[in-house]
Structure 1
Amino acid sequence: MEYAWRTIISEVEARKVKIFAKDKKLVGEVYEMMLYLQEILRSLKKSIATNGFDSEREEIYFFREVKPQILGKLIYYNNVYCLEIACPNQKGKIYKRFFSLQLRKLKKEYEEISKLEFFKYYRSGRSDNDQTYFRMGNINYFDGLCSIVFEIDINFSTYYDGIISRIIANDLLYVYLHAKINPSDNDDFNLGDVQAEKDFSWTESKNALIELIYALQASGAISYGKLEIRKMVLVFQKLFKIQMTDPHHAFHRMKQRAGSRTIFLDQLKGSLEEYMNKGL
């Protein structure tokens, strides 16, 4: 079952809308993506209602990793759709003011979410309380949860999967709004013929790329380490045409690895030394 879920997530990652495209088809493409994601959620809900979960581990994996990836993107695309049809037609002060206001609202929501103990738990990559947070029927109302908890479908939610979905959506929305307010930031680098080269692609895992990005930032190899991780991620996403939904969470999970925490960097060192030895 987990393999099938990973396949679904991979398909969702592959079928993404180029949000920053400057064409009139954007709203229509975003709407189609919303319908696509909504249908996936309906299908998953029906499957779980019929078959349930094979194990506690599978249930936790679904509500922590699978559903938030789909629901988070659905929330994100819905927000983009609403903003695109409501924003001023002409670019200028009113246009920029509109998106600046949305960014302030997003930051306010982020401040509220970041106060939650669960937010710190999730961002730190912890898993010791997963049985409490990601199993249906385990909602503790004494924690003073948001009133929306009474509106959720208890047969397809643990409440906290919804919070992760919101975190994922907000991370994506932040990038979208920032690009609308400062479109020049997306044109700071010109990939030229590299972008047009179909054979130029990242063929390792996304975690490997995240590990490399953090290593470059920590070493000060790029802009003396002063460039934010978020901007570095944007550069590599555009360079390799891939999407890294939550690099901060992935990095924190790396910190919890047993054995070497720098698997990819160790592999790079070994590969380079082996390559050097061939020329001796």
Structure 2
Amino acid sequence: MENKLGLESLPAFDEAYKMVLFLQELLVELKAEIIQQGFVSIQDEIDFFKIVKPEILGKLIYYNKIFRIETGCPVSSGKMYFRYYLNEFRLLKQEYKNHISNSNFYRYYRSGRTDNDDTYFRLGKINIHDGLNSFVFEVESNFSTYYDYKVARIIANEFLYSYLLSKINQKDELHHKFKNSYNSKDLLWTDSKSALVELIYALYASGVLSHGKISARKIGSVFQALFRIPINDLHHAFHRMKTRAGSRTIFLDHLKNSLEEYMDKEP
């Protein structure tokens, strides 16, 4: 679904809204399946609540936050735009510091430990004596271990961190430079955003710009300014490309084929 929406070049808030609806429905279907069928083994149950559900719920939390951030942005450029995303970035860092990084569970999860998985990721193992957050009383006991939600929050915050970082690092100077260029106003990117991400990462991976000493994010900023097209989360978009079915370099393959066909036509 992410790949499909990426090809449609939707505004960030629209793509986020559609992903929220999709992921909500996916969780409802999963819940019905789990309640009806249960798990084939203890390890199956642990894997579901440690890996499968948090990946989906984490994306749901992430896209819902993106929708709220994008629909609350007061302007589309300029200093106020920069300050808005910078403030959101600071709030995220503060939330991470206050509620995530200092917890014993975060250190357990980040270290890759498995010795307490039977307690953290199996149904009916919630221990109130641990002094858990009051959210525990809202947990659906037949579809959550409480800690699956904590993992989902960690995943969501990682995605959100990359998204906001890409926003605040877009330099207004680049936008003004290209806006005032004589030819740039007529230069439009008319393919999908996914195709542009392919091109950006191909240039980055090959090291052909600035002797390979420029980041993919900076290359992306130049292209966004040049074509006046937003790429909501370059890092996230690239990782979606890596999981494509079939060719992972559809656009680059198309470029190669188009050039070869053009060469064959030329006398």
Q: TM class, shorter-chain normalised?
A: 0.5 to 0.7
Query: CA RMSD, aligned part only?
Result: 3.9
| Preserved contact between residue 17 and residue 33 of structure 1 (Cα < 8 Å) | no
1:119 to 103, 106, 109: 106
Q: Is the 8 A contact 2:2 2:19 kept in 1?
A: no
User: Using a 3 Å threshold, how does the CA distance of structure 1 residues 241 and 46 change in structure 2: closer, same or farther?
Assistant: closer
Matches of residues 80-99 of structure 1 in structure 2 within 5 Å? Answer: 80-99=66-85
Using the alignment, how far apart are the partners of 1:73 and 1:101 within structure 2? 22
Name the residue aligned to 1:192: none
Query: What runs of 5+ residues in structure 1 fail to find an aligned partner?
Result: 1-11, 188-194, 203-221, 228-233, 245-280
Following the alignment from structure 2 to structure 1, what is the Cα–Cα distance between the partners of residues 239 and 121?
Answer: 33
Q: Percent same amino acid at aligned positions?
A: 47
1:235/1:32 Cα in 2 relative to 1: closer, same or farther (>3 Å)? closer
Given candidates 36, 40, 45, the residue that maps to 2:26 is: 40
Report 1 or 2 for greater relative contact order, CA contacts < 8 Å, sequence distance ≥ 6. 2
Q: Which amino acid aligns with 1:180?
A: K
Q: Determine if contact 2:5/2:15 at 8 Å carries over to the other structure.
A: no
Change (3 A) 1:238 1:66: closer
CA distance in 2, matches of 1:197, 1:175: 15
Partner Cα distance (1:87, 1:159) in 2? 32
How far 1:154 sits from its partner (Å)? 1.1
Specify every segment of 5 or more residues in structure 2 that has no aligned partner in the other structure, as ranges.
Answer: 175-194, 203-211, 216-232, 244-267
Partner of 1:158: 145
Change (3 A) 1:104 1:243: farther
> Distance in 2 between the 1:77 and 1:197 partners?
20
Instruction: Look up the match of 2:86.
Output: 100
Instruction: Give CA-to-partner distance per residue, 1:99-144, whole Å, 9 cap, x none.
Output: 1111111001111211111100111111111101000110111111
Question: Partner of 2:35 in structure 1?
Answer: 49
Task: Compare CA radii of gyration and give the structure with the larger one.
Answer: 2
Letter in 1 for 2:49: F
State how far apart, in whole Å, the 2-side matches of 1:61 and 1:13 are. 23
Cα distance, 1:181–1:16 mapped onto 2, change above 3 Å: same
Distance 2:150 2:239 in 1: 29
- Contact 2:162/2:235, CA 8 A, preserved across alignment: no
Write the distance in 1 (CA, Å) between the matches of 2:160 and 2:145. 24
Correspondence for 2:133: 146
What SS does the corresponding residue of 2:241 show, helix, strand or coil? coil
For the residue of structure 2 that corresponds to 1:127, the secondary structure is coil
Alpha-carbon displacement from aligned partner over 1:130-173 (angstroms, at most 9, x marks no partner): 10100011011111111111111111111110011000000000
Which aligned pairs between 1:72-87 and structure 2 lie closer than 5 A?
72-87=58-73
In the alignment, the residues of structure 2 paired with residue 240 and residue 152 of structure 1 have an alpha-carbon distance, to the nearest angstrom, of 31
Does structure 1 residue 26 correspond to structure 2 residue 12? yes
Q: 1:175 aligns with which of 162, 173, 176?
A: 162
The aligned amino acid for 2:90 is R
TM-score when normalising by structure 1: 0.61
Q: Per-residue deviation at 1:180?
A: 1.1
